[in-house]
Amino acid sequence: MSRYLERAEHTARVLNVNLHGLLDQKDDVVQQRWRRVARSLYMPAVPDTGFEPYLVAASLTFDARVPGSIVNSIVSARQNAREIREQISTEMWEQINRMFLHVQHAQRLGIWDTDAHAFFQAVRDGSHLFQGMSDTTLSHDEGWLFIQLGRYIERVQSIVRLLGVHFDDPAVPEDGSFAIEDYMEWVGLLKSCTAFEAYCRLHTANIQPDRAMGFLLLHPSFPHSVHFGIRMILSALEALSESIPLMKQSEAYRQAGKLASSLQFDPIGDILAGDVQGYLEEIHHRCLQIHDSVFETCITYPLNYNLAY
C-alpha cells in the first residue's frame, strides 16, 4: 500500500514538473526530455519519433495497463488498504478513498484536460496527507514500520531510476565536472525530486551537475536523497528486528547495511569517475533484493517457519 502511494506521488510530481517545462522549449528538447520521463516511469514501448508529451502524460496518469500510472497505483493501494482495513485508522482509510474518488472523478469528467496541474497537485497533497495521518493516527508498531519501509524502498528506486535515465551516457571530464548544456534540464531534475530549493540553499542557484548528483545521491538529511532513504530503510529493519529477530539475519538487513555504508563513504568524485550507470543499477538491484528478502522473511515463509527464532 505504501509503495503504491509513493509511486503515485512520484509520478504526479515528475509529470507536473515536465508539463510546466513544455513552455518555450524547442521540439527536439521536448522530445528528448519526455523520452527520459517515459523511461524513468517504466512506460512500455517508448517511440523514437512522433512523441506527443500530452498523450504520454495522459497514459501515465490514467492507463491502468501501465504499471506506474497514477490510476493503477492508487487503485492498487486502495485494494491493499481494504485487505488490511482493521490494521489502519479510519482517517487513513477515508483519505485513500478520497484519492481514489478524485482520480475516478477527474477521469470521468475530463478535469485533467482543463487543469492538469491542479490534478497532479491534488494527488501529491493526498499522498502527503496519508503519510501524515499514518504518523499521527497509527501506533508506531510493526504496521507503521512496514509503511516506512515500503515508502523508502519505492522512493530510492524511483530516484535512482530518474538519475539513471538523466545521466545516460554522460560525458564526464577527468576533473569530474560536467558541462551544463541546458540549465532548465537540471532545474527540472531537482524539482522532480523536490530538491531545487534545498539544493540552492546549500550550493546557490548555480547548478553544477556533479553537485546535483552528489546532493540527490549522498546528502544525509534530505528526505528525497538516496542516502537518506537507505538510512530510513535500515532504521525500519532494525526496529522490526525487535519483534522479528530473523530480520537482522536476513538478506534485506545485510543489503541495506552495505548500501548505507557505501553511500556514507563513497565520494561523489569517485562515483562520477567510474561507471555511474553501473553504480545506480547496483543500488536498484539491491533494493529489489531487500524487497524480496522482506517478503521471504515476513510474508511467504513456510508454515513450519517460526519468526521468533
How far apart are the C-alpha atoms of 29 and 64, rounded to whole Å? Answer: 28
User: Phi, psi (5° rounding) for residue 162?
Assistant: -65, -45
- Burial class of residue 208, CB neighbours in 10 A (0-12, 13-18, 19+): middle
Which pLDDT value is given to residue 115?
85
The cell for 116 is 492538469
For residue 46, the model assigns a pLDDT of: 64
Determine the pLDDT at residue 199: 96
Sign of CA dihedral 120, 53, 64, 15: negative
Give the pLDDT of residue 27.
72
Residues 109-152: pLDDT tens digits?
A: 777 777 889 999 999 999 999 999 999 999 999 999 999 999 99
pTM of the model: 0.90
For residue 182, the model assigns a pLDDT of 67
Within 48-115, residue ranges assigned H as helices are: 53-62, 70-83, 90-109, 111-114
Q: Residue for cell digits 519505492?
A: 154
Q: What is the pLDDT of residue 174?
A: 46
Look up cell 528525497; give the residue. 224
Largest CA distance in the chain: 63
Strands (E), the chain: none
> Low-confidence residues of the chain, pLDDT below 50?
169-180, 307-309
Round to whole Å and give the CA distance between 221 and 62.
34
User: What is the spatial distance between Cα 73 and Cα 60, in angstroms, rounded to a whole number?
Assistant: 10
Q: Are 279 and 272 in contact (CB under 8 A)?
A: no
Residue 9: is it exposed, middle or buried by C-beta count within 10 angstroms (0-12/13-18/19+)?
A: buried
**Can you give the pLDDT at residue 176?**
44
Go through the chain and tell me how many residues it has.
Answer: 309
Residue 189 cell numbers, joined: 531534475
* Nearest residue to 124 (alpha-carbon basis) of 58, 191, 32: 191
State which amino acid sits at residue 144.
W
The pLDDT of residue 301 is 67
DSSP class of residue 206 equals: -
Per-residue confidence (pLDDT) for residue 305, from 0 to 100: 52
